Amino acid sequence: MEFTQIEPFEIHLKETLVHHLPPVYGVALSNSFERKVIITKLLEKIGGKPIYFKQCTASLEDVLNEINSPDLLCSKRVFIYDGMGEPRREMDLIVRKLRALPSNTCVIWASDVVRFYPLMDKKMILLDLSRETTRAHAMRIERWLTQEVRKRGKRLTKEAQACLLGHFMLHFEHLMQEVQKLATYTGGGLEIDLKAVRAICNVRSIQTTNWEVAKGIVWNEKGKSDCPSLHLSMEELFPFLGQLRYHLQLGLVITSCLKRGREEEIARAYPKFSARVLAHYKQRAHLLSVHYFKKGLQYLFELQLQALDQGVDPSTIITQFTAKLKQVITNG
């Protein structure tokens, strides 16, 4: 069985491992650290004694022969072949070995691609993320970040999450290192906010951070809304869209409260904001309108649809989005 998205794969594992233990799993993904995360999740479900193999000087046949070496002290063994490669001349050997595993043995085969899957005759569960879209990758990393923070008994504010993803989306290993530092830094506190991220993480090295650019675009801040230094890759685009969405929703809440004469509700909705920060946003909100932020969210939805086209230039569509927001201001 083959999966091209991680959520159905995890659901399948949860449902099938209760009743049946498939002997062979495949993980096709280019990032070695992200592969390790998936392997770890698999091992938690499978149990048993893990035995790791990576690319080495021994022949593939010698490595595979380890499967047949008995271990009388272990009731279940899990062989992990990570980045071993699949030479075409040895493809038949791999398939023969994996289709005739001892009853107490499982194998996890992880690599950039898993080419021999069609030869396994449905005797392998494959998670193939080798052709994962940029959006699917961004959603997976965001989900993993949330899971990791919860595992440590913490929760991220939306601003903190957007800032972390904006800086570390392409470097998941570094992102996990920053989460570990943040969990330690916050001690007994349950919440990790933007202030903590800026205090402990290396997020100041980017010339004008994407977070500041997104804030400048949405709030039409002079000198920040023309995004002259914004050069986004496709991998960076979706975290940036999340930052735009955060500020548009923030603006909609503030302008709605001001319009209804319920200014006190703003502080209750954002208790972590300092008086200075709240004053800044309210000052900007007086210059904009509820209509502006609603139109912004509509344009953002259209932008997200554009972004699904792999041929678009991220910086170009952000520039177009910014121009649309300015037109709303011009037209009142």
Both 230 and 200 in a single domain? no
**pLDDT tens per residue across span 203-242:** 654 445 778 888 999 999 875 545 545 667 777 788 888 8
Domain count, the chain: 3
Residues of the chain where predicted confidence (pLDDT) is lower than 50: 205-207, 225, 228
Q: Which two tokens stand for residue 106?
A: 């499982």
Mark which of 85, 101, 132 sits at the end of a domain.
132
pLDDT the model gives residue 223: 57
Both 28 and 91 in a single domain? yes
Mark which of 104, 132, 160 sits at the end of a domain.
132
Both 259 and 193 in a single domain? no
Both 242 and 315 in a single domain? yes
pLDDT the model gives residue 207: 40
Both 112 and 159 in a single domain? no
Mark which of 205, 226, 241 sits at the end of a domain.
205
Relative to beta strand 105-111, strand 2-3 is: unpaired
Both 52 and 111 in a single domain? yes
**pLDDT tens per residue across span 237-250:** 888 888 899 999 99
pLDDT the model gives residue 230: 61
For residue 63, what is the domain's CATH number?
Answer: 3.40.50.300
Both 80 and 194 in a single domain? no
pLDDT the model gives residue 206: 43
Both 72 and 139 in a single domain? no
Both 19 and 125 in a single domain? yes
Both 212 and 301 in a single domain? yes
The answer for residues whose C-beta is within 8 angstroms of residue 242's C-beta and 6 or more apart is 142, 161, 162, 165
Q: Which residue segment(s) compose the domain that 170 sits in?
A: 133-205
Both 47 and 157 in a single domain? no
pLDDT the model gives residue 204: 53
